[in-house]
Structure 1
Amino acid sequence: MRKILNILLTSLLFFGAWSCSEDIMDDINKNVNDPTDVGSHLIITDAIVTSAFSITGSDLAFYASVYIEHNVGIWNQSYNAEIRSGEPTSATTYNNSWNSIYQNLYNLKIIIDKCSEGGAEEGNYHTLGIAQVLTAHNLATLTDLMGDVPWTEALQPGIIYKPILDSQESIYTEVKRLLDDAIANFGKESDFAALGTQDFIYEGDIEMWQKFAYGLKARYAMRLSLKTPAYNDVISFADNSFKSSDEQAQFNYNGSTSISPFFKFFTDRDYFGASNSLHEKLADRNDPRDEIFWKINPKGDEFMFAPNGTPVQVQGTYAVSAISNSTAPTYLMSYHEIEFLKAEAYVRLNKLDEAEDALKNALIAAFQKDNIGLTEEDAETYFTDEVLPKFGINPLSEVMNQKYIAFFEEEAVEAYCDYRRLTAMGNNVIKLDNPKNAANQFPQRFTYGNSDVTTNENVRNAYGNGEYIYSEKVWWAGGTR
C-alpha cells in the first residue's frame, strides 16, 4: 500500500511540476516587446509619424521635386530621374514608400476595426475619426501617384495573396466616404480619453482634426476638376478648414532626435542642385525668395544653378537649398494651400475680387513659413508691386505659379499633382524646362512597388516594363487607370 501511495504522490508531484513548467514556458515564450494586441492610442502615434516622415516627406516627395523642377537631380538615383534613365520606370524606385503606405494603411485598419461597432474600443469615436482622416490621406497619396492600386482586397495577409487593382475612381469615392465618416465621428462624444501628447500634430484637439478633414475634402474636390468640377464645394470645404498657419497639419522636428526629411536627404546623399527653372520664375517676379531659397554648396566656391534636364553629374558644385534645415516641418496640409485652393476656385468662378483676397492671404502665409522668415509687410509689398499686375493679365496663371513657388520644397507632391491636373485641363500655365518633357518623357505617374510587381500578377501585368508611366495618365488627369 505504501508503495502504491508513494507512486501516486510521485506522479502527482511530477504532473504538478509539469503543469507549472508549462505555465512558466508559456510566459517565457511571450515576447513582451511584440504584443499581439495594442491599444489604438499607441498605434495612432506610429501612424501619424509614418504619415509625415515615411510617406509625405519620403522618396515620393524627393522624386516629385525633381519631376516638377523644384530641384535638379545631380547625382546617382536623382540624376537618373532627372535625365529619365532607369529610375522613373523601375519598380524598385518607390518600393520603400509603397511598402510604408500599405503597412500604415494596415495599422490604421486595425485602429478603425478596434474603434468601430463591435470592436474592443467601440465608442472611441475621436481616435476612429483621426484614423479615417489619415487613411484618406495615405490612400489618396497612393492613388494620386500610382493610379489604380490594390485596395478592397488588400490588407488581408494570409487570406488574399494577390489582391486585384481597384480603379482610381472607386478609390476616390472611398476617400470621400472616409472623410465624411471622420467628420461625423468628430461630432460625437467619445467614451475614451483624448490622445493628448500621443498625437504629435494636434495633441488630441479634435476641432483641428475636423478642420484638417475639411481641408482634405477641398484638396480632393479640386483634384477632380477635370472629371467633376465643383468649385463652390472647394470654397465651402476650405471655409470650414484652417483659418491661420497656427492650425495647419504640420509635423515638427526637434533637429536632434528627429530631423527634417529633406535636410536628412541632403546631408546623407547630396543628390540635389538648385533648379534654374524655378529661379527664373522668381527672378521674373522680382521675388525676394530668390535670395532665400538657395545657397552656395558647402563644398563649392561659387553660386551656380543646375540646368534642368542637362546637369553634369557632379557633387559639391551646384547651389543647394537654403531652406532645408534640421527642423523644417513636414506639411500634411498647410494653411497657404487652403487659401490657394480658394483662390483658384474663385478664379474659375470668375469672382476675381475674392480670388485676389485669397491669393494675398496665401502669399502672406507662405512668406512667413518657418524656414522662409519674411514678414507680412514683405508679402504685401511684393503682392502689390509684382503679383497684382500679372494677376490682372492672367489670374489663373499667377495663382498657380504662386502656389507652385510656395510649395518649394516640402509640398512637392502636391505641386506635381497640380501640374498634371492643370495640363490635363489644358491650362499649361506652369513652364517646365527639362527637354525630356518635350520628348514625351514627363513621368505621368509613379511605378508600382517591386514587392508586389514580383509577387502579385495583377500588379505585374499593370506594370509591364514600366514604360507606361510616360504615356498613361491617371484617371483624374484624363487617363483610364
Structure 2
Amino acid sequence: MKNILSKILVVVLIAFTSCEDMDDINVNPNNPTDVSSSLIITDLIVSTSFRVASGDYNYYASVYAEHNVGIYNQFYTAEVRTTGPQVAATYNNTWEALYTNLYNAQVIIDKCSEEGSEAGNFHTLGIAQTIAAFNLATLTDGVGDAPWSEALQPGQIFNPVLDKQEDIYNDIIGLLDAAVANLAKETEYPSLDKQDPIFGGDADSWAKTANALLARYKLRLHAVKPDLNGVLANAEAGFSSAGEECKLDYNTIGGKSPFQAFFDDRDYYGASKSLHDKLIALSDPRADVLWKVHPEAEDQDNIVFAKSGDPDQVGQVQNLFSVSAVTSQDAPSFLISYHELEFIKAEAFARKDMDTEAEEALKNAIIASFEKIAYVFDEDDDVEQIAEDYFTNQVKPRFDANPLSEVMIQKYIALFEEEAFQAYCDIRRLKALGEGDIISLSHPEASKFPLRYTYGSSDVTTNKNIENAYADVDVFVDNVWWAGGSK
C-alpha cells in the first residue's frame, strides 16, 4: 500500500511544489490538479472492466477452475503449482489496478457527497459507489483480509493496517445499498451520457447492477451469513434480460477484448481436457464448439486438449494445444451478467427447496449463456433452440434428480472464460459448504488447489503490515473468511 499510495501522492504533491510567486506561471491548463467526476469516471469504468473484471485475477482463475490449462511461462508454473500461486508478483498488476480504481472511486464519492464540490450529483455518486463495491469485493475475494479503512490516504497513512474480510464485506454491502438509494434520487446534474461507456449514465441500469451485485455478494456469504431471502429480493430488482446486463463492449470503445489481447501477446493457455470431458459426460452441445485449432499448430485438423496439472503432457510448448473459440476481439468484460444473476436465483431457490422457481431460473440462465457465445456456433444454427433442447433432454432429468448440483455445474460451465473468477469463487464457496464434490476438478495434486491469491509485491516490499500478512498465509491451506477461514 505504501508504494501505491506514494505513486498517488506524487500527483498530489506536484500541485504544491511551485513557489507562491510563480503560481500563475506554473499553471498548466493541460494538466489540471482537479477535474470533474464526469472526467474521472470514464477511466474508472474502463479500468475496472479491463484490468479487474478481466485482468490477471480472471486469467489465473481460469487456470485454477480448469476452464483453461496454463501451458507456458508464468501460467505453466501456476498450472503445475510450483511458484505461480504463492509469489507476490503473480497478481501485482491487478493488485495495483484495484487500489488505483478504489482511490479514483473515492475521489468521485467525496466530490459528489454532502459538502463535496459536486454535492447533489446523486447518480454519478451511485455509479461510483457501485464500481467501488465491485473493486473492493474483487480485492477481498482474492486475498481475504486487506488494507481498506486506513487505505486511500496518501500523505497521511503510508502503512495501513489490514481490515478483516467480514468488516470489508459489511462496507461492500453498505456501498451497494447506498448506491441503490442514490440512483433513485432526483438530481439537477446532467447525465454522464457518453462518459459512461456501459450504460450512457442511465441511473436505472446502474441501480439494477447494484442490486445484482448485492445478490452475488450476499450469496457469496452463504457459508457464514446465509440470507437467501435477501439474495432473491436483490436478484428480483436486478436484470430482467441479457440486454440489461453490466458489461463493457469493446466494439463500442475500440481496442481488443482482454482475452484476445492476452492470447495475441502471450498465448499461455491450452484447451482444457478437464472441461471438455465434463461437457462430453453431460452430452452438452458446447463440447463441439467451445474450442478451435491453434492458428499456428502444425495439425490443423484436430482439436488437441491439455491435461490439467500434468507437466509431462503440458510441458512449456506453445502452438501445440487448441485454444478457446470464445476468445474474440469483441468479447465483453462483465461486471455481472444476466445469466449469472439467473443462476444465482436458481441456486437460492434450490436451497429453499423451491424447485419450480429454480427450474425456471435455470432454464433462463442456460439459454442466455448459450446466446452469450452464439458466435461460436454455425451461422445458421438456432442457438436458442439448441439451448432449449439441451435443457429439456439433458439438464431437466439431472435437475429433477439433484437440483442444486445441476444448477452449480451449469453455472460453472456458463462462466467459461470472461467470468472465470466468479467460477473460482463458487468452487471455494462450495468447498466451505461441504459440497466441493459438485464441481470435480482433475488436477492430480488436489491438495494444491489455491484457496486464495497473494498480496501484491509492490506493497509486500513496502508495507510491514502486508509483508507480515503475506508471510503468514499459505495459499494452499488458508481459506478466506467467507470460505471458512480466518484471514
Q: TM-score, normalised by structure 2?
A: 0.92
Residue type of the alignment partner of 2:303: F
Q: 1:284 aligns with which of 281, 285, 301?
A: 281
Alignment check: 8 A CA contact 1:255 1:326 kept: no
Does residue 353 of structure 2 align to residue 350 of structure 1? yes
Partner of residue 484, structure 2: 478
Measured against aligned partners, the alpha-carbon deviations of 1:404-438 in whole angstroms (never above 9, x if no partner) come to 0000010000000000000110112000001122x
- After TM superposition, the runs of 4+ consecutive aligned structure 1 residues lying more than 3 A away are 22-28, 370-374
Once the two structures are superposed, the pairs formed by residues 88-103 of structure 1 within 5 Å of their partners are 88-103=85-100
Q: 2:43 aligns with which of 43, 46, 58?
A: 46
Q: How far apart in 2 are the matches of 1:75 and 1:453?
A: 26
Q: How far apart in 1 are the matches of 2:28 and 2:235?
A: 47
Q: How far apart in 1 are the matches of 2:449 and 2:286?
A: 27
Measured against aligned partners, the alpha-carbon deviations of 1:113-146 in whole angstroms (never above 9, x if no partner) come to 0000000000000000000000000000000000
Q: 1:135 aligns with which of 127, 132, 137?
A: 132
Once the two structures are superposed, the pairs formed by residues 257-336 of structure 1 within 5 Å of their partners are 257-300=254-297, 301=299, 302-310=302-310, 311-336=314-339
Does residue 446 of structure 2 align to residue 449 of structure 1? no
Does residue 370 of structure 2 align to residue 367 of structure 1? yes
Q: 2:190 aligns with which of 193, 198, 204?
A: 193
Does residue 240 of structure 2 align to residue 243 of structure 1? yes
Alignment check: 8 A CA contact 2:197 2:248 kept: yes
Q: 2:410 aligns with which of 402, 409, 414?
A: 402
Residue type of the alignment partner of 2:346: A
Q: How far apart in 2 are the matches of 1:426 and 1:363?
A: 25
Alignment check: 8 A CA contact 1:89 1:465 kept: no
Q: How far apart in 2 are the matches of 1:46 and 1:257?
A: 14
Does residue 412 of structure 2 align to residue 411 of structure 1? no
Alignment check: 8 A CA contact 1:276 1:307 kept: yes
Q: How far apart in 1 are the matches of 2:252 and 2:59?
A: 19
Q: How far apart in 1 are the matches of 2:293 and 2:402?
A: 34
Q: How far apart in 2 are the matches of 1:175 and 1:56?
A: 16
SS across alignment from 1:448: coil
Measured against aligned partners, the alpha-carbon deviations of 1:253-311 in whole angstroms (never above 9, x if no partner) come to 12994210011101111100000110011111221111111011111113210001012
Measured against aligned partners, the alpha-carbon deviations of 1:145-201 in whole angstroms (never above 9, x if no partner) come to 000000000000111010000000000000011011111111111120010011011
SS across alignment from 1:273: strand
Count how many residue pairs are aligned between Structure 1 and Structure 2. Answer: 457
Does residue 79 of structure 2 align to residue 82 of structure 1? yes
Q: How far apart in 2 are the matches of 1:347 and 1:25?
A: 68
Q: How far apart in 2 are the matches of 1:325 and 1:269?
A: 15
Partner of residue 459, structure 1: 466
Q: Any stretches of 5+ residues in structure 1 without a counterpart?
A: 1-21
Q: Which has the larger radius of gyration?
A: 1
Does residue 178 of structure 2 align to residue 181 of structure 1? yes
SS across alignment from 2:166: helix
Partner of residue 376, structure 1: 384
Q: TM-score, normalised by structure 1?
A: 0.93
Q: How far apart in 1 are the matches of 2:345 and 2:291?
A: 29
Q: How far apart in 2 are the matches of 1:92 and 1:221?
A: 31
Superposed CA RMSD in Å reads 1.5
Residue type of the alignment partner of 2:404: L
Q: How far apart in 1 are the matches of 2:478 and 2:295?
A: 40
Alignment check: 8 A CA contact 2:197 2:253 kept: no
Q: How far apart in 1 are the matches of 2:357 and 2:34?
A: 51
Partner of residue 8, structure 2: none
How far has the Cα of 1:25 moved from its partner? Answer: 5.4
Alignment check: 8 A CA contact 2:291 2:303 kept: no
SS across alignment from 1:155: coil
Q: 1:434 aligns with which of 432, 435, 443?
A: 443
SS across alignment from 1:92: helix
How far has the Cα of 1:233 moved from its partner? Answer: 1.5
Q: How far apart in 2 are the matches of 1:451 and 1:237?
A: 37
Alignment check: 8 A CA contact 2:125 2:179 kept: yes
